[in-house]
Structure formats: structure tokens, C-alpha cells
Structure 1
Amino acid sequence: MQEIYNALVTTYLTPENEEKLRKALEPAEVVFCKPNETEVIAEAIKKVDVAILNSDVDDLILTGPNLRWIHCCRAGLDKSAKPEIFERGIILTSSSGRSAPALAEHAMMFMLTLTYDIPQLMKAKAERRWAATREYSFKTGMYGKTVGILGLGKTGCEVARLAKMFDMKVLGWRRSTEVPENVDVVYSSDRQDSLQTLLESSDYVILCAELNDDTWHMLDKKEFDWMKPSSFVINMGRGELIDESVMIEALKHGKIAGAGLDTFEVEPLPNESPLWDMENVIITPHITPRLPDREERAMEYVYQNIEAYRKGSGFVNRLSQRNMYTKNKVKG
């Protein structure tokens, strides 16, 4: 059994949750502080073996000589999965999945908004114009259509569950060949499956994948050429999953029907981006409404991993070198 002796916690917690975490870490000596209290962190990191962080792993955290486990109470650790962590044998885990239901709702909001052309309806409302056009009457709903989900982690599986409530066919792409509940067909990167069939078949392409060296620009020119002209692209992952310039050209030339985008290659999205002026593009500022119990959901992963640390196995959301993203990657 491996015990925790000294721990640093920089995440925001209610007094009740802070006390619960303190007890879970006993008999460790625990330093609680805010993420911006660098002097406190700099002193504490000299001796801690465990760090439970509010944000990504930075250079100050990595100065800790005794670190054995780092947990980030968030998802999307493309900035934290650093080579040094794995070279030093430090365990890295996350709270990925804490907001999966809300992110899935966000994706469904994009799907419904694009399907029912809410921007045009709102424009007609502002103009006091009855928008009962022949073109609108021939639109079709989501029922019976096909959704392709790229990334079947907790958010992707939640999207699949909601899509099944609309009686949709669900195709998924992931590393492994395992077929989760609510997914009809899985295409596996470990099996070296092509995305072509999924993209050619999908009316909605939803990105829920993590960003790493294998998923960078996973939607590029070839992939957009495979898509239906009537399809919609929705990005709930990271902006760099898509070659944005290629997507803009695809939108301009009708290779896809529209996009719902919560993330971008550069954030905030620059004022000069053509995406701002496209009526078939819905933009949200990389923000999703919180779940009412998000803090508790995030901490559940911490408690599970405290037990795993002590047992030496069974970590939830453990990252490896396969999760690394190097920004200087050049796509071949």
C-alpha cells in the first residue's frame, strides 16, 4: 500500500468539499491554496508527493522533486501531458467527464439550431417577417438521420445516448474496437479504420475527441471532401482538431451545410475571421453552462484516484504518452 504524505490542492472547493477532501487524504499534510498564490505553491511544491490542481500543469508544479501523482480537476489535458511527466514516471490523471452531460446538451443545441435554421428564424423575427418559405418547409428534422461522433469518451457516449432519443443512427470513431452502449458501429484507429465511411454516411459530424498528435487536424481537406454537402460539423473538442482554413473554404463552397463551433484554433476568435459573417455558422465562446453538481462530479474522480494511488492500480482517466500534443507537429 502506497500512502500519501504531503499534498497540494489548488482547486476551488466549498468548505464542505474541502473538509471531505482533507479527510480522504489523511494522514497526509495538506496545503490548500488558490491557483494564483504562487508563493504558497512554490514553497509547498518542494516536498509534496501529490498535487491536485485546478488547472493545467505548469513549470512551477514540475519543480516538485518528490511528485508521484498529479490530478487536474478538468478535462482536455493537451497542455498538461508533457514529456517530462512521463519521463519522470509521474502519474497524471484528470476529471474528464465532469461536464459530459452539459457538453452533450451543448452539441444537441448546435444540432437543433442548425437543423431548424434558428439564425434565419431570428432574423425574420427581427424583421417582423413571416418566414413560411418553400425552402424552409422542405427541411427535414433529426429523426432517422445519422450522427458520426469522433471520440467516444464520456462526452461522446453522452451525445450518443441523446442522439438515440431522437431515433438516430450513431457511428463512432475511437482508438479501441469496443462498441459502447448507444453506438451502432465503431471505427477504430487501433484497427487502422478509415474515417471515410463514417464521414460519407453522417448528417452530423461531432468532434468530442481529445487533442493529441494523432488527432491534430483530423478534419482536413480529404475529410471535408468525403462529407455530404448537407452535413453539419460540430466541434466540442479543441479547435486544432480541425484545419480551420480548410473548413472555411468548405463552408464557402457548399461542401458542408454549416457548423456549430465552441472551440477554435485561435481563441478568442479573431475579429477578422470569416466565420463571424457566415449565417450557417453558430459560434459559442468556449463556454458551456455548468452542471449544478459539477464540483462534486469533478471530486469523485479525485476520490477514486486516491484509492487507486494507495492500491497502486485502477486509476480513472490516467493519461499516457499517447495523449501528448506537440504544437510543432507537421502533418504529413
Structure 2
Amino acid sequence: MDGLWRDRQIDLIVFITREEFVLPEIKKALITACLKPENRKRLREALFPAEVIFCDSHAPNAKEKIAESVKSVDVCILNGDLDEEILAGENLKWIHCCHAGLDRSARPEVFSRGIILTSSSGRSAPALAEHVLMFMLSLTYDLPMLLRAQARHQWTSTSEYASKTALHGKTIGVIGLGKTGREVAKLARQFDMTILGWRRSSAPVEYVDEIYAAEEGGDLNALLARCDYVVLCIELNDKTFHMMCAEQFLAMKKTAFLINMGRGKLIDESALVHALQAGELAGAGLDTFETEPLPADSMLWNMPNVIITPHSTPALPDREERMLQYVYQNIHAYREGGKFINRLTEKNIFTLACRDL
């Protein structure tokens, strides 16, 4: 009798375990990402047997169609950031934003409701790293000065220019070692640079010589003091807001260059202007700004040692397919109870962005 009871206990445990781990199925999905016909087809197949609603976010009446559709979907794959219309969906279980930098999407409400939030961060990492390299080479070889001289038909073979030194063998600090930061480190290795990295943990990263770990007492200013180039590839959140301000600029070498490929609010822009005017930095390459578009009266426009790009990088030829790879992996994770790629948590919240919404 005892043996029979034990068998029944085992059967009961197995039954309860199976019930607890019933994996969710995707029943209905809303897609606002703009996709090629062949990629639409492939995504529909990946989501099968779910009902799939495609709605180009730029199409006429898109706002109304999205508002109506989101009422009944459990999954959204979005072209941009989520907003109040999307969060009105009461059945939402998973939202994927098909880009990087979700400081406007990582809202407390998302996590309090238990909604899974993921991104396609990394889809353009190689191109962004090339953008960084463009800034580094242009600043090192003083391309702005050369172009101004060319426009004046002026030969600039001077002792001052001849005294400049190349990238080779210098030190770069990569702030943020996600996919873009790792691609930057990979390119920097081709110039035999010493590569320092800043991230949350001290876990080793390929191509990076030394890591300063934020959550293990790493000293950011000590890293900055060693660098000839400081490259911001880190996300914007409550801990990284204005992480580069007057104190950090004073810690840097006067011959160093600052490059920002992250978000504008990583930098205290007024402090940066002062540092550049005071000669505390040699120059800056900036793709993102605290206010975008950069206001016409910003002092950054006229600084001879600043290169400005409009928060835009030439796309990789297969960017759309790379973007969707994250979606496919996360569809599998959703159905199989696996680990989501680029899943955000409360650590990613940027409170000021939430207040502005």
C-alpha cells in the first residue's frame, strides 16, 4: 500500500510540474515593422499558427488600425518605441522593438505588468563601429582643418600638422561593451591599440585588455585618465545619465578625443562645450545630442575641433535580416521557455524619459 501511495505521489508531482510549466503560445501578433515582402512571409511562417496583423506605422490610418489591433494581441513587434497606444493592450505578453536604445520604452509599467521587452540591439553594430573609426581617423588627421584649407585652396604642410601622431599603439576606452562596443574593440585591435573597457561586471571580453567594472568599484576617472580616445557605446538609463560631465572631462588627457555613439544625455553638453573651449579636450565626434535635431544656435556647430553627424549611420546591406534574427530567436525563446536575447529589465529604466512621455 505504501508503495502504491508513493507511486501516486510521484504521478501527482509530475502532473503538477507539467501544469506549472505549460509554455505560452502566441495567439495573435501585431507587426508595425516595415519589411520586404519576403521577410514578411518568413516572419508570418515563424509565428504560425498565430494570427498575424501587419500594419506599416507610416501608412494612412495606421494610428487607428494599431489602436484597434492592439486590443486583442499578445505580442507586438514594433518599428519604433512603444507608446501609450501599445500599452493599452491588456493581453500583451511580449513586446519587441526592432532597434536599439530603448530608453523611451523601458517604462516601469512594462515590468510591473510582467511584459517581456526585447530589442534588436546589435543589428547595426559593425556599421556603428565603422562610424566610430571614421570619427577617430578624422579627428586624428584633423580632417575638418584639411577640408577648410582645401576650400581656400591653401596648402597646409606645417610643422604643427607634421607633429600629429597616428592611431597606432594609442589607448582607447570603450564605455559600454555590448555588441557595438565589442565591434569597436575588434576594429581598434587592428591598430594595435591598448583597449580599456567599462561595463557592469569584470567578465572578460574578447579584444579588451582591461575591464573597469562599474558594479565592482571600478573607477571611471582612472580609466579616462589613461585614454587617447573615449568612445561612448553605453545605453542611457538612470545610472548613465550625464556620466560624462565636468569632473570626467578634467580627468581626461588634454590631447584626448571624446566620441559619442550612444545617447546625447550621456553627456552634460554645457560642460562639454566649456571643456572644448577651455582646451581640456582635443576634440569630439558626436552623433547624438541632448536635444535633437541639434539646435541651430548650439555652440557645437562652430567649433573647429568638433565633427557632427545627424544621429544617422549608413545601414548594413542586410540590416533588416539582422534585425529579424533577434525576433526569430526570441520567438523560439518565448515558445520553449528559453533565454531571450536583448531582454530589458528595471536596470534599463531612464526615469527622465518616462516623465517626458
Fold in common (TM above 0.5) = yes
Aligned to 2:144, the other structure's residue is in SS state helix
Query: How does 1:45-194 map onto structure 2 within 5 Å?
Result: 45-194=70-219
Aligned to 1:143, the other structure's residue is in SS state coil
Residue in structure 1 matched with residue 46 of structure 2 by the alignment? 24
Task: Tell me the TM-score normalized by structure 2.
Answer: 0.91
Deviation of 1:313 (Å): 2.5
Deviation of 1:2 (Å): 2.0
Moved more, 192-201 or 3-12: 192-201
Residue in structure 2 matched with residue 221 of structure 1 by the alignment? 246
Distance in 2 (alpha carbons) for counterparts of 1:265 and 1:38: 28
Aligned counterpart in structure 1 of residue 57 of structure 2, from 32, 35, 43 = 35
The Cα RMSD (Å) is 0.9
Distance in 1 (alpha carbons) for counterparts of 2:330 and 2:185: 27
Moved more, 38-47 or 283-292: 38-47
Aligned to 1:64, the other structure's residue is in SS state coil
Residue in structure 2 matched with residue 14 of structure 1 by the alignment? 36
1:40-60, Cα deviation, whole Å (9 max, x unpaired): 111111110000000001000
Change (3 A) 1:327 1:131: same
Structure whose alpha-carbon radius of gyration is higher: 2
Provide runs of 4+ in structure 1 moved above 3 Å.
none
Distance in 1 (alpha carbons) for counterparts of 2:233 and 2:353: 22
Distance in 2 (alpha carbons) for counterparts of 1:279 and 1:312: 53
Residue in structure 1 matched with residue 24 of structure 2 by the alignment? 2
Distance in 1 (alpha carbons) for counterparts of 2:251 and 2:99: 34
Deviation of 1:130 (Å): 1.2
Number of equivalenced pairs:
329
1:167-206, Cα deviation, whole Å (9 max, x unpaired): 1000000112112100000111111211022100000000
Aligned to 2:219, the other structure's residue is in SS state coil
Distance in 2 (alpha carbons) for counterparts of 1:88 and 1:328: 19
Aligned to 1:298, the other structure's residue is in SS state helix
Distance in 1 (alpha carbons) for counterparts of 2:254 and 2:204: 28
Alignment pair present for 1:292 and 2:317: yes
Task: Tell me the TM-score normalized by structure 1.
Answer: 0.98
Normalized per residue, the structure richer in helix is 2
Q: Unpaired segments of 5 or more residues in structure 2?
A: 1-22
Question: Structure 2: which amino acid aligns with 1:10?
Answer: T
Q: Unpaired segments of 5 or more residues in structure 1?
A: none
Alignment pair present for 1:202 and 2:227: yes
Identical amino acids, percent of aligned pairs: 60
Question: Structure 2: which amino acid aligns with 1:304?
Answer: Q
2:103/2:353 contact within 8 Å kept: no
Alignment pair present for 1:236 and 2:261: yes
Residue in structure 1 matched with residue 274 of structure 2 by the alignment? 249
Deviation of 1:161 (Å): 0.1
